[in-house]
Structure 1
Amino acid sequence: MSDAAGIYARESTYLDRCVQVGIAGDRVLSVSFPGSLAAEADTEHPLLDRLFEYLEGAPDDFEDIELALTVPTDQRAVLEAVRNIPYGEQTSVERLTRRVPDFDPDADDDRDRVRTALDQNPIPILIPDHRVRDGPSAAPPKVEQKLRSLEGL
Protein backbone atom coordinates (compact mmCIF):
# COMPACT_ATOMS: atom_id res chain seq x y z
CA MET A 1 0.00 0.00 0.00
CA SER A 2 1.10 3.55 -0.61
CA ASP A 3 2.62 5.60 2.19
CA ALA A 4 0.55 8.66 1.24
CA ALA A 5 -1.78 9.82 3.99
CA GLY A 6 -5.11 11.26 3.06
CA ILE A 7 -8.69 10.69 2.06
CA TYR A 8 -9.36 8.61 -1.04
CA ALA A 9 -12.79 8.05 -2.55
CA ARG A 10 -14.66 6.95 -5.65
CA GLU A 11 -18.28 6.70 -6.63
CA SER A 12 -19.65 3.16 -6.74
CA THR A 13 -22.52 2.49 -9.10
CA TYR A 14 -23.06 -0.89 -7.38
CA LEU A 15 -23.52 0.70 -3.96
CA ASP A 16 -25.10 3.89 -5.31
CA ARG A 17 -22.79 5.75 -2.93
CA CYS A 18 -19.14 6.64 -2.65
CA VAL A 19 -16.56 4.46 -0.97
CA GLN A 20 -14.16 6.59 1.06
CA VAL A 21 -11.05 5.46 2.90
CA GLY A 22 -8.91 7.37 5.36
CA ILE A 23 -5.25 6.37 5.35
CA ALA A 24 -2.26 7.39 7.46
CA GLY A 25 1.08 5.98 6.39
CA ASP A 26 0.50 2.36 5.54
CA ARG A 27 -2.59 1.91 7.75
CA VAL A 28 -6.28 2.31 7.08
CA LEU A 29 -8.09 4.45 9.65
CA SER A 30 -11.60 4.40 8.23
CA VAL A 31 -13.94 3.26 5.51
CA SER A 32 -17.20 5.13 4.98
CA PHE A 33 -19.94 5.50 2.39
CA PRO A 34 -20.80 9.17 1.86
CA GLY A 35 -23.46 10.23 -0.61
CA SER A 36 -21.00 12.34 -2.61
CA LEU A 37 -17.28 12.73 -3.12
CA ALA A 38 -15.46 14.93 -0.63
CA ALA A 39 -13.75 17.85 -2.34
CA GLU A 40 -10.39 16.91 -0.82
CA ALA A 41 -10.63 13.23 -1.75
CA ASP A 42 -8.20 11.75 -4.24
CA THR A 43 -9.74 9.10 -6.51
CA GLU A 44 -6.55 7.10 -7.09
CA HIS A 45 -5.19 4.62 -4.56
CA PRO A 46 -4.31 0.90 -4.81
CA LEU A 47 -6.71 0.06 -1.96
CA LEU A 48 -9.58 1.69 -3.85
CA ASP A 49 -8.66 -0.47 -6.84
CA ARG A 50 -8.95 -3.60 -4.68
CA LEU A 51 -12.18 -2.47 -3.05
CA PHE A 52 -13.76 -1.86 -6.44
CA GLU A 53 -12.58 -5.26 -7.72
CA TYR A 54 -14.27 -6.76 -4.64
CA LEU A 55 -17.45 -4.79 -5.43
CA GLU A 56 -17.32 -6.26 -8.95
CA GLY A 57 -17.36 -9.78 -7.47
CA ALA A 58 -13.68 -10.67 -6.97
CA PRO A 59 -13.35 -12.40 -3.58
CA ASP A 60 -10.86 -10.69 -1.29
CA ASP A 61 -10.30 -11.11 2.44
CA PHE A 62 -8.12 -7.97 2.72
CA GLU A 63 -6.14 -9.72 5.48
CA ASP A 64 -2.87 -8.18 4.30
CA ILE A 65 -4.17 -4.63 4.76
CA GLU A 66 -2.78 -2.95 7.87
CA LEU A 67 -5.44 -1.29 10.02
CA ALA A 68 -5.14 1.49 12.58
CA LEU A 69 -7.88 0.63 15.04
CA THR A 70 -8.39 3.34 17.62
CA VAL A 71 -11.12 1.67 19.65
CA PRO A 72 -11.37 0.36 23.23
CA THR A 73 -9.71 -2.99 23.93
CA ASP A 74 -12.94 -4.99 24.18
CA GLN A 75 -14.15 -3.59 20.84
CA ARG A 76 -10.77 -4.37 19.28
CA ALA A 77 -11.10 -8.01 20.36
CA VAL A 78 -14.55 -8.22 18.76
CA LEU A 79 -13.43 -6.55 15.52
CA GLU A 80 -10.39 -8.82 15.27
CA ALA A 81 -12.71 -11.83 15.55
CA VAL A 82 -14.95 -10.34 12.84
CA ARG A 83 -11.97 -9.85 10.57
CA ASN A 84 -11.39 -13.62 10.70
CA ILE A 85 -14.82 -14.48 9.25
CA PRO A 86 -14.04 -15.80 5.75
CA TYR A 87 -15.46 -14.30 2.56
CA GLY A 88 -18.88 -15.75 1.77
CA GLU A 89 -19.49 -17.05 5.29
CA GLN A 90 -21.60 -15.61 8.05
CA THR A 91 -21.98 -16.00 11.77
CA SER A 92 -24.34 -14.90 14.52
CA VAL A 93 -23.74 -12.52 17.40
CA GLU A 94 -23.84 -15.48 19.78
CA ARG A 95 -21.21 -17.47 17.84
CA LEU A 96 -19.07 -14.36 17.43
CA THR A 97 -19.27 -13.75 21.18
CA ARG A 98 -17.89 -17.28 21.73
CA ARG A 99 -14.82 -16.34 19.63
CA VAL A 100 -13.93 -13.31 21.74
CA PRO A 101 -11.62 -14.10 24.68
CA ASP A 102 -13.22 -13.55 28.10
CA PHE A 103 -16.70 -12.98 26.62
CA ASP A 104 -19.63 -15.17 27.69
CA PRO A 105 -22.13 -15.83 24.88
CA ASP A 106 -24.85 -16.40 27.48
CA ALA A 107 -24.31 -12.98 29.07
CA ASP A 108 -26.54 -10.21 27.74
CA ASP A 109 -23.88 -7.62 28.56
CA ASP A 110 -21.25 -9.38 26.45
CA ARG A 111 -23.62 -9.80 23.49
CA ASP A 112 -24.42 -6.09 23.82
CA ARG A 113 -20.68 -5.30 23.79
CA VAL A 114 -20.37 -7.29 20.55
CA ARG A 115 -23.28 -5.36 19.00
CA THR A 116 -21.74 -2.05 20.09
CA ALA A 117 -18.40 -2.95 18.50
CA LEU A 118 -20.14 -3.92 15.24
CA ASP A 119 -22.18 -0.71 15.20
CA GLN A 120 -19.11 1.44 15.83
CA ASN A 121 -16.79 -0.42 13.45
CA PRO A 122 -14.65 2.31 11.83
CA ILE A 123 -13.51 0.10 8.94
CA PRO A 124 -16.45 -1.80 7.38
CA ILE A 125 -15.69 -4.12 4.45
CA LEU A 126 -12.10 -4.59 5.69
CA ILE A 127 -13.62 -5.61 9.02
CA PRO A 128 -16.63 -7.38 7.48
CA ASP A 129 -19.40 -6.72 9.99
CA HIS A 130 -21.91 -7.46 7.20
CA ARG A 131 -21.05 -11.14 7.76
CA VAL A 132 -22.70 -11.10 11.21
CA ARG A 133 -26.27 -11.82 10.18
CA ASP A 134 -28.11 -10.69 13.32
CA GLY A 135 -25.84 -7.83 14.36
CA PRO A 136 -25.72 -4.21 13.35
CA SER A 137 -23.34 -2.98 10.69
CA ALA A 138 -21.48 0.31 10.62
CA ALA A 139 -22.33 0.52 6.90
CA PRO A 140 -25.67 2.05 5.89
CA PRO A 141 -28.40 -0.62 5.66
CA LYS A 142 -28.59 -0.57 1.83
CA VAL A 143 -24.81 -0.92 1.61
CA GLU A 144 -24.84 -3.78 4.12
CA GLN A 145 -27.50 -5.60 2.08
CA LYS A 146 -25.53 -5.17 -1.15
CA LEU A 147 -22.36 -6.48 0.51
CA ARG A 148 -24.28 -9.49 1.83
CA SER A 149 -25.78 -10.09 -1.60
CA LEU A 150 -22.37 -9.78 -3.26
CA GLU A 151 -21.05 -12.59 -1.04
CA GLY A 152 -24.18 -14.73 -1.37
CA LEU A 153 -25.21 -14.29 2.26
Structure 2
Amino acid sequence: MPLVVDSPIGPLGVTLDGETVVGVRFGAATAGTPARHRVADELAAYFGGALTSFTVPVELRGGSAFERAVWGEIAKIPYGEMQTYGAIAAALGDPGAARAVGTACNRNPVPVLVPCHRVVGAGGKMVGFGGGIDRKRRLLELEARVALEQAWG
Protein backbone atom coordinates (compact mmCIF):
# COMPACT_ATOMS: atom_id res chain seq x y z
CA MET A 1 0.00 0.00 0.00
CA PRO A 2 1.43 3.40 -0.91
CA LEU A 3 2.13 6.16 1.54
CA VAL A 4 -0.35 9.00 1.44
CA VAL A 5 0.97 12.55 1.47
CA ASP A 6 -1.55 15.34 2.01
CA SER A 7 -1.03 18.31 -0.29
CA PRO A 8 -2.83 21.44 -1.46
CA ILE A 9 -3.60 19.63 -4.73
CA GLY A 10 -5.13 16.62 -2.98
CA PRO A 11 -3.69 13.47 -1.47
CA LEU A 12 -0.69 11.98 -3.27
CA GLY A 13 -0.02 8.25 -3.22
CA VAL A 14 3.72 7.65 -3.04
CA THR A 15 5.18 4.23 -3.78
CA LEU A 16 8.60 3.42 -2.36
CA ASP A 17 11.16 0.74 -2.96
CA GLY A 18 13.21 1.02 0.21
CA GLU A 19 14.13 4.70 0.41
CA THR A 20 13.63 5.32 -3.32
CA VAL A 21 10.45 6.86 -4.74
CA VAL A 22 9.21 4.80 -7.69
CA GLY A 23 5.69 6.19 -8.06
CA VAL A 24 3.50 9.19 -7.33
CA ARG A 25 -0.23 9.13 -8.00
CA PHE A 26 -2.78 11.94 -7.79
CA GLY A 27 -5.98 11.45 -5.82
CA ALA A 28 -4.73 8.68 -3.55
CA ALA A 29 -7.21 7.06 -1.23
CA THR A 30 -6.85 8.66 2.16
CA ALA A 31 -7.00 5.22 3.77
CA GLY A 32 -3.35 4.62 2.86
CA THR A 33 -0.48 4.57 5.29
CA PRO A 34 0.23 8.11 6.57
CA ALA A 35 3.53 9.27 5.15
CA ARG A 36 6.52 8.96 7.45
CA HIS A 37 9.31 9.32 4.99
CA ARG A 38 11.68 11.99 3.79
CA VAL A 39 9.60 12.43 0.62
CA ALA A 40 6.67 13.64 2.76
CA ASP A 41 8.89 16.28 4.34
CA GLU A 42 10.24 17.37 0.96
CA LEU A 43 6.78 17.56 -0.60
CA ALA A 44 5.54 19.62 2.36
CA ALA A 45 8.49 21.99 1.94
CA TYR A 46 7.88 22.19 -1.83
CA PHE A 47 4.20 23.05 -1.39
CA GLY A 48 5.15 25.52 1.35
CA GLY A 49 7.48 27.33 -1.05
CA ALA A 50 10.65 26.43 0.86
CA LEU A 51 12.02 23.73 -1.49
CA THR A 52 12.75 24.17 -5.19
CA SER A 53 14.73 20.99 -5.84
CA PHE A 54 13.97 17.51 -4.56
CA THR A 55 16.83 15.44 -3.14
CA VAL A 56 14.92 12.27 -2.30
CA PRO A 57 16.09 9.37 -4.48
CA VAL A 58 13.80 8.71 -7.46
CA GLU A 59 13.88 5.80 -9.87
CA LEU A 60 12.02 6.02 -13.17
CA ARG A 61 10.83 2.51 -13.92
CA GLY A 62 9.24 1.22 -17.06
CA GLY A 63 8.51 3.19 -20.16
CA SER A 64 9.93 2.95 -23.64
CA ALA A 65 13.33 4.35 -24.52
CA PHE A 66 11.58 7.44 -25.93
CA GLU A 67 9.51 7.92 -22.76
CA ARG A 68 12.60 7.62 -20.57
CA ALA A 69 14.34 10.19 -22.77
CA VAL A 70 11.37 12.55 -22.39
CA TRP A 71 11.38 12.09 -18.61
CA GLY A 72 15.10 12.90 -18.60
CA GLU A 73 14.44 16.15 -20.49
CA ILE A 74 11.57 17.05 -18.17
CA ALA A 75 13.83 16.58 -15.16
CA LYS A 76 16.13 19.29 -16.58
CA ILE A 77 13.45 22.01 -16.65
CA PRO A 78 14.38 24.51 -13.93
CA TYR A 79 12.01 25.32 -11.09
CA GLY A 80 9.59 28.10 -12.01
CA GLU A 81 10.16 27.71 -15.75
CA MET A 82 8.20 26.01 -18.50
CA GLN A 83 9.07 24.21 -21.70
CA THR A 84 6.82 23.30 -24.62
CA TYR A 85 6.10 19.79 -25.85
CA GLY A 86 7.56 20.84 -29.20
CA ALA A 87 10.79 22.12 -27.66
CA ILE A 88 11.29 18.84 -25.83
CA ALA A 89 10.62 16.91 -29.04
CA ALA A 90 13.20 19.07 -30.84
CA ALA A 91 15.73 18.57 -28.03
CA LEU A 92 15.30 14.83 -28.54
CA GLY A 93 15.97 15.20 -32.27
CA ASP A 94 12.39 14.72 -33.48
CA PRO A 95 10.64 18.11 -33.81
CA GLY A 96 7.45 16.45 -35.06
CA ALA A 97 7.01 14.33 -31.95
CA ALA A 98 5.23 16.88 -29.73
CA ARG A 99 2.19 14.62 -29.28
CA ALA A 100 4.40 11.67 -28.39
CA VAL A 101 6.09 13.90 -25.81
CA GLY A 102 2.64 14.65 -24.38
CA THR A 103 1.87 10.95 -24.14
CA ALA A 104 5.21 10.33 -22.41
CA CYS A 105 4.47 13.14 -19.95
CA ASN A 106 1.13 11.53 -19.15
CA ARG A 107 2.95 8.27 -18.40
CA ASN A 108 5.49 9.89 -16.06
CA PRO A 109 5.52 7.56 -13.04
CA VAL A 110 6.65 10.25 -10.57
CA PRO A 111 4.83 13.52 -11.36
CA VAL A 112 5.72 16.56 -9.27
CA LEU A 113 9.15 15.07 -8.48
CA VAL A 114 9.87 14.80 -12.22
CA PRO A 115 8.01 17.99 -13.13
CA CYS A 116 5.83 17.17 -16.14
CA HIS A 117 3.58 20.03 -15.01
CA ARG A 118 6.27 22.38 -16.38
CA VAL A 119 5.56 21.17 -19.92
CA VAL A 120 2.99 23.29 -21.77
CA GLY A 121 1.59 23.67 -25.23
CA ALA A 122 2.83 26.10 -27.85
CA GLY A 123 2.61 29.69 -26.66
CA GLY A 124 2.35 28.58 -23.02
CA LYS A 125 -1.12 27.09 -23.53
CA MET A 126 -2.37 24.91 -20.68
CA VAL A 127 -2.97 21.54 -22.26
CA GLY A 128 -2.93 18.02 -20.90
CA PHE A 129 -1.83 16.83 -17.52
CA GLY A 130 -2.38 13.46 -15.88
CA GLY A 131 -3.44 15.21 -12.67
CA GLY A 132 -5.85 17.57 -14.46
CA ILE A 133 -5.40 21.11 -15.72
CA ASP A 134 -6.40 22.65 -12.37
CA ARG A 135 -3.56 20.85 -10.57
CA LYS A 136 -1.13 21.80 -13.33
CA ARG A 137 -2.13 25.47 -13.06
CA ARG A 138 -1.80 25.41 -9.27
CA LEU A 139 1.69 23.85 -9.44
CA LEU A 140 2.84 26.40 -12.02
CA GLU A 141 1.36 29.29 -10.02
CA LEU A 142 3.11 28.07 -6.86
CA GLU A 143 6.47 27.88 -8.63
CA ALA A 144 6.02 31.25 -10.36
CA ARG A 145 5.15 32.94 -7.05
CA VAL A 146 8.10 31.38 -5.21
CA ALA A 147 10.52 32.16 -8.06
CA LEU A 148 9.41 35.80 -8.03
CA GLU A 149 9.72 36.02 -4.24
CA GLN A 150 13.24 34.58 -4.44
CA ALA A 151 14.24 36.92 -7.25
CA TRP A 152 12.83 40.08 -5.66
CA GLY A 153 13.10 39.24 -1.98
TM range, smaller chain:
0.7 to 0.9
Note if 1:31 corresponds to 2:41: no
Which of 19, 37, 47 aligns to 1:45? It is 37
The number of residue pairs the alignment matches comes to 140
Scaled by the length of structure 1, what TM-score is found? 0.81
Alignment partners' CA distance in 2, 1:65 and 1:86: 18
Q: Is the 8 A contact 1:59 1:87 kept in 2?
A: no
Structure 1 residues 130 and 40: alpha-carbon distance in aligned structure 2, compared to 1, 3 A threshold: closer
Q: Is the 8 A contact 1:27 1:65 kept in 2?
A: yes
The aligned runs of 1:135-150 (5 Å cut-off) are: 136-150=128-142
Structure 1 residues 124 and 44: alpha-carbon distance in aligned structure 2, compared to 1, 3 A threshold: same
| Cα-Cα RMSD | 1.9
Structure 1 residues 20 and 77: alpha-carbon distance in aligned structure 2, compared to 1, 3 A threshold: same
- Answer 1 or 2: which has greater helix percent: 2
1:3 aligns to what? Answer: none
CA deviation after TM superposition for structure 1 residue 21, in Å: 0.7
Which of 69, 83, 94 aligns to 1:104? It is 94
Q: Is the 8 A contact 1:62 1:126 kept in 2?
A: yes
The percent identity for this pair of structures is 27
Scaled by the length of structure 2, what TM-score is found? 0.81
Note if 1:127 corresponds to 2:114: yes
1:21 aligns to what? Answer: 14
Any unmatched runs of 5+ in structure 1? Answer: 1-5
Any unmatched runs of 5+ in structure 2? Answer: 122-126, 146-153
Note if 1:7 corresponds to 2:15: no
Deviations 1:96-149 (A, max 9, x none): 11222xx321x2xx2221111011111111110111121522222221111011
Deviations 1:42-74 (A, max 9, x none): 321111110111001123222552313211111
Alignment partners' CA distance in 1, 2:115 and 2:22: 15
> Aligned letter for 2:141?
S
Structure 1 residues 36 and 47: alpha-carbon distance in aligned structure 2, compared to 1, 3 A threshold: same
Alignment partners' CA distance in 1, 2:11 and 2:32: 14
